Structure 1
């Protein structure tokens, strides 16, 4: 059997750490070691770890953030498979057995992953309230890589990775204050197949405490703005490091290159990087300009407005005006604008149903503007067959 190292980076979570580590020592398949890397905690973490039993190796360093702690712990890990677990979440008993079994049966896979449930302890009653995952895509459509580029849905507690793959992609980025797990899982998926089990493997704790490293803490109430900014910063280097050929490699068909441009536009629109997205929409509109968009391509455009960060930036005057220009650029531009308008429709309905009338009105103006711009000529050549690859091409280091 392959050996497994668990890495638990921790910072001031003594009140949660015991439950987290006990869930690791209770696994149906024992792990060879549990490395607890204390990132300079100022609470009772050292004593808490000393009181626990199991194959625990405790390390302590100066506070430098999660990425630095993980890189240091990785140098100490001895296992062939690496399981990184947060210090406040709870692994379900059969998690590592299920994940390791996948990698042992599938030697071509570099990552095995699963789903999760969220939970919160009610402060008033002490009751534990569980909900489903925050976001989980339809994995019957498209590749795991495409879904990961659009949004994060795999988390470290439900992700087992070959040590050799970590060595191949390089260390965690220590320049990132947050989203280091998202950056890493994208880099892993770019290099090797990811096999996903659609079953819960851990419980993700939701609480109102501070988040992030000591130098950049933020409260849960500030989370949306902080993560939006982090998401843009995270994906900015991917604009250069992920070639268009990889986006095109997500698709199979004569117009895979155009679909790749639209897919890259979708990815960056969901990051609210509309400058990058519009450049790709414009380029796609001029590629085979008389050949109609396939349903696959139209769906890509609709997803551009379905990201977790919303579409408020898209409805602003300058961005809306540039998208209108795309709609007026020709037959394919007309179809792109129509698909974007259709993608915005459900957001407008949701805002109206929730009583957010100013937002609903703003989205309605956006839809109207794009709809008016998309009254131009239609493509004269039917769309050729296009499909998504279940297992896309991967990068070569």
Structure 2
């Protein structure tokens, strides 16, 4: 029989960098939960906007970890390593949770003891207005590796994960300047089922000037994530074929974009990337 999953062993990790004006919204949404976590960690990734003063003067119950600016992956990883909880709940510093987020999630995890990770529905806010997520971001649960390939369908702020998963597959890849979450969900979903809660438990804010996700060139990091997963010994036949198809598609789109921008050397490189993973007629790698 599986042990009872308890909020007494949950660490919330909030990475932040120069978001002093937004951070209180995230923190207050954690502190206003109907069921409180055992620990809240803010990892300050080298902020220069008074984040430390904010935490120390207004959020004394929050554990502050400071580091030089190294990026969100290193910040999350530092939080995971320092966390006391068996369960890790991520919250980006510009997002917020609905009040019953943790209560509903842990009720579901206790009802589904074979799952070590869950994610949920979310409300999207873009430039101050609620918008409908595009159909390609439709969420689901179970063994969803193939569903995770086209886009990053899991938002970090919706995720609760048992730390044993990190012990098995490793931490966030800090060499990726973007798409580090896409890479993580691929590595997890190829080995673990993911519980999906349709409840809208997180508010995801988009449209900040510093966000990288909509800039041209970010797909290079998704391509690297796909290259990594295609080398995984856990990838099965149909999953390999699906991952290769997405890699081929993304490389083609990226190469065309590079060519339009006069980056011919880069275009030629990405045109050939997928060839190293091609299958012969028997379904084996060449």
1:48 matched to 2:39: no
Match of 1:163 in 2: 163
Shift of 1:227: 1.8
Shift of 1:38: 0.5
CA contact (8 A) 2:124 2:133 kept: yes
CA contact (8 A) 2:97 2:201 kept: yes
Match of 1:117 in 2: 123
1:81 matched to 2:87: yes
Q: Which has the higher contact order (CA 8 A, sep 6+)?
A: 2
CA contact (8 A) 1:265 1:278 kept: no
Q: 1:201-216, aligned counterparts within 5 Å?
A: 201-211=201-211
Structure 1 unaligned blocks of 5 or more: 122-127, 212-217, 251-259, 289-397
TM-score where L is the length of structure 1: 0.59
1:271 matched to 2:250: yes
CA contact (8 A) 1:12 1:41 kept: yes
- Partners of 1:183 and 1:201 in 2: how far apart? 23
- Partners of 1:153 and 1:144 in 2: how far apart? 10
Match of 1:233 in 2: 224
Match of 2:262 in 1: none
CA contact (8 A) 2:187 2:229 kept: no
Q: 1:1-397, aligned counterparts within 5 Å?
A: 1-2=6-7, 3-53=9-59, 55-121=61-127, 128-134=128-134, 135-137=136-138, 139=140, 143-211=143-211, 223-242=214-233, 246-248=236-238, 261=241, 263-272=242-251, 275=272, 283=280, 286-287=281-282
TM-score where L is the length of structure 2: 0.81
* CA spacing shift, 1:94–1:138, aligned 2, 3 Å: closer
CA contact (8 A) 1:35 1:73 kept: yes
- Please give the root-mean-square deviation of Cα atoms over the aligned residues, in Å: 2.5
What is the SS of the residue equivalent to 2:22? Answer: helix
* CA spacing shift, 1:52–1:225, aligned 2, 3 Å: same
Deviations 1:143-199 (A, max 9, x none): 422101232111111110011112221121121111111111221222221011123
Deviations 1:292-341 (A, max 9, x none): xxxxxxxxxxxxxxxxxxxxxxxxxxxxxxxxxxxxxxxxxxxxxxxxxx
* CA spacing shift, 1:146–1:167, aligned 2, 3 Å: same
CA contact (8 A) 2:183 2:222 kept: no
- Partners of 1:132 and 1:52 in 2: how far apart? 34
* CA spacing shift, 1:185–1:139, aligned 2, 3 Å: closer
- Partners of 2:199 and 2:32 in 1: how far apart? 19
Shift of 1:19: 0.6
- Partners of 1:54 and 1:202 in 2: how far apart? 24
Shift of 1:278: 6.8
Shift of 1:5: 0.4
CA contact (8 A) 2:139 2:196 kept: no
What is the SS of the residue equivalent to 1:174? Answer: coil
Shift of 1:208: 3.4
Shift of 1:282: 6.6
Deviations 1:110-134 (A, max 9, x none): 211112121134xxxxxx3111224
CA contact (8 A) 2:45 2:71 kept: yes
Task: Find the structure with the greater CA-based Rg.
Answer: 1
User: More helix per residue: 1 or 2?
Assistant: 1
Aligned residue pairs total 258
Q: Hey, which bits of structure 1, 4+ residues long, moved more than 4 A? A: 273-282
CA contact (8 A) 2:32 2:99 kept: yes
